[in-house]
Chains A and B, each alone.
Chain A
Amino acid sequence: MNMKISILGINFRTAPVEIRERASFTANDVPDVLRRICAEFPGAEAVLLSTCNRTEVYMSGIDADEKKQILIGMLLKESDPGRLAAVEKHFYTKKNMMATEHLLAVAAGLDSMVVGETEVLGQVKQAYMLTKQTLISGKTMDPLFHNAFRIAKRVHTETDVCRGRVSVSSIAVEFAEKVFENLTDKTVMIVGAGETAELALKSLIERGAREVLVLNRSLDKAIMLAERYGGRAIQFELINDYLPRADIVISSTSAPHCVIHESSVRKAMETRHDLPLLLIDIAVPRDIETGVGALENVYLYNIDDLQRVAAENLAKRQKSVEKAWKIVKEGAMEIASVFESADLRDMLRKLDELGRNTTEIVLQKTLAKEKIAALPEDAREELRVVAQKVVGKFLAEPREALKRAAKNGQWKEYVKVVDDLFQFNAQRGPDRKEDTQEKKDV
């Protein structure tokens, strides 16, 4: 069982969204695509990963290079050779070790648009589960993906690659979670209707924020936003009346002056009996007076604060990328050794069989000779034992050398030599060709 894995894929680096969206599949579509692939290539195993940034088919038993056009046609539901040729350049293929490393990097979030994002691991798991349900995974895909999940987790726990949030909205949520125990009994006030503020509001609602108050100069806009998130639209002029009710205020108006003043926050804090108040000012020019941040139990952050944290977290992640890649490469070697140990057993069995068969053929010829046939039975038996021992001794060193090679990562070189020497080539021809190709890829 040599590692015969290949990938055909398209991602945000290789293709614009117009092409990617054509090869995008929902969880309901995936089983059909997998069945089509396996009907076209009987005996093959395949896992289809489709996210907003990538679509990749992980395959065993199919050479992605050779069958690239057919596979692209199946993904895009396109049969016109001209059109296929036009989009082919956006698709990439990887094989064996490179393919394994790629899968590990994807699962660990190293190949994502935002390095270290953890959502992709869940998506890879879901893709694998869909394949399991379709019964198209097997002896290659199962160990490959199980090991990939293990190694991705190792990357997440042993490096800083996924530590710290990197988007302004998620950092706002992180601050909220450091001030408040949980958000289920909290009121969020949105002042203005900026896109980032809305994203932050969405994240806060996902974490269970109880009440949403939306204030905007245009009441219609406020009503629209409030309706989208099950909140209440409030007239902008009532901001000071509602301020004491809010636990989290996100402000992003386009007003040229401050809309939340120190005096009103001070008054609100008196009503709140010093319950903590988190204010996030995403607007430029700023909406909240800077003096507000100096008030007791009030925590004020502006866009620069959030962006600074995002930049620091991203820098921390980037620092860890090298370490993460080291784990990925080690992991790919481990996976290769899982497959190689099966190959080793196979190769040793072949060597033993060769030794036994050769001894038997030579012995039969020898024992058939008149002089030998006249010998007593125990002498003939002795001759048989000696012959077997000689062959056993002769093969002992190659056997040990193969075991050492499997341990030391020199398996590919050794197996080729043994193939040639003992003429196993006939059975292993395609592998050799594949290995040569892989070296070229590297």
Chain B
Amino acid sequence: MLQPNTILSAIGIVFFCAASVCAVVDLLRTHPPEKGEQGVSLFLAFGCVSLLATLVLQGINTHSIVPLFNRFDTLTVYVVFLTIAALCLLRQHRTQGLMAILAPYATILLIAGFPAVNVRTELVPPQVVNTALFFHLVTVFAGYALFSLASILACAYLVQDHNLKYRHFGIVFEKFPALETLDHLMFRMIGTSFLLITISLALGYYLVHETGRMSEWITDPKVMATMATWTLCAVLVHMRANIGRHGTRLALFTVAGLALILFSMVGVHLVAQSIHNFVQIGSTLK
């Protein structure tokens, strides 16, 4: 029999699928469809609500205050943060064309995480279950989400640059924002994500102290991957704020950052053993 969290997460994924279809159709439609934009935002909002409800249920089932310990939870929290950030951005700027990149990307991640929805989780060491852990997780996921949003903006920048260079003045050219808008937003997102990841790393350092396993954590592949992301963030912020660099090369680096984030969130567990891996593969929740 299907469990409630499975049903809720499936509903969430269906909403994201609907949002993806709507967003792509909107992007390719000739006229600017206000109703279509609202439809995408609504589907994404409903999808987020379903996914959050799933996470709450996961938390109740595992008696955990922060249910972030398997692939599904990790990707779901990341997608929820990313979607909320994108919806906030959409309210402030006319960036609706970007939803055609974001919604399918988020949907693919959710589908990839879905098989792990009921994988049993192992709780983190009790001495680190505190407010610092909560903020460590919130800041790192918010940082990842904002950097990913910057990467999506960078993708749009590269597409728009290609359109302008090779004179492809079609629907996508019309609907995507101006290069400068994308460049400004990209920098804002990278700057904020740099700040959040820095806070998260500092909190992580504090938590490591609490467990007394300093040497193990420092050499942990997940920590190293996150450090690499942070370094890339720092380089991008420096290039933009101190050297004043702009343009396609910066956008390419930002897109590369997305790969780094995905690796540090999910990929690292596939290629190496990490202390961050709290998942006991194979057993499911009763």
Contacts and interface: CB of A to CB of B under 8 A. Distances in A.
Are A and B genuine complex partners?
A: yes
B164 A299 contact: yes
Contacts of A179: 164, 178-180
Contacts of B164: 175, 178-179, 299
Interface string A162-192: 0100000000000101111100000000000
Contacts of A178: 160, 164, 173, 178-179
Interface in B156-182: 160-161, 164-165, 167, 169, 173, 177-181
Nearest to A272: B246
Nearest to B160: A178
A157 interface: yes
A181 B178 contact: yes
A297 B248 contact: yes
A334 interface: no
A273 B243 contact: yes
B247 interface: yes
Contacts of A299: 164-165
A293 B161 CA distance: 12
B244 interface: yes
- Size band of the interface chain A makes with B: 20 to 34
A296 interface: yes
A179 B184 CA distance: 12
B248 A296 contact: yes
A179 B161 CA distance: 9
A291 to B, nearest CB: 13
A275 B178 contact: no
B245 interface: yes
B246 A181 contact: no
Contact of B246 (A160, A175, A293, A297): A297
Interface in A289-335: 293, 296-297, 299, 301, 305, 308-309, 312
A181 B180 contact: yes
A177 B248 contact: no
Nearest to B184: A181
B187 to A, nearest CB: 12
Interface string A271-295: 0011110000000000000000100
Nearest to A159: B31
Contacts of B184: 181
Contact of B247 (A157, A158, A274, A305): A274
B249 interface: yes
B interface bracket (residues with beta carbon within 8 Å of A): 20 to 34
B30 interface: yes
Contacts of B247: 274-276, 296-297
Nearest to A160: B30
Nearest to A298: B165
Nearest to A157: B31
B249 A275 contact: no
A274 B245 contact: yes
B279 to A, nearest CB: 43
Nearest to B176: A178
Contact of A276 (B173, B180, B244): B180
B180 A180 contact: yes
Interface in B227-257: 243-250
Which of A157, A273, A301 has the most chain B CB atoms closer than 10 A to its own CB? A273
Nearest to A278: B164
A310 to B, nearest CB: 11
A299 B178 CA distance: 13
A197 B168 CA distance: 23
Given A296-B249, A299-B165, A305-B167, A273 B180 contact: no
A309 B163 CA distance: 13
Given A179-B164, A293-B165, A297-B246, A276 B179 contact: yes
Interface in A38-72: none
Nearest to B182: A181
Interface string A78-101: 000000000000000000000000
Nearest to A179: B179
A179 to B, nearest CB: 5
A273 B249 CA distance: 11
Interface in A135-177: 157-158, 160, 163, 175, 177
**A-B CB proximity, top 8 nearest:** A274-B247, A181-B180, A297-B247, A273-B244, A181-B181, A180-B180, A274-B246, A299-B164
Interface of B: 30-31, 160-161, 164-165, 167, 169, 173, 177-181, 184, 243-250
8 contacts: A177-B178, A178-B179, A181-B180, A274-B246, A297-B246, A299-B164, A301-B167, A308-B167
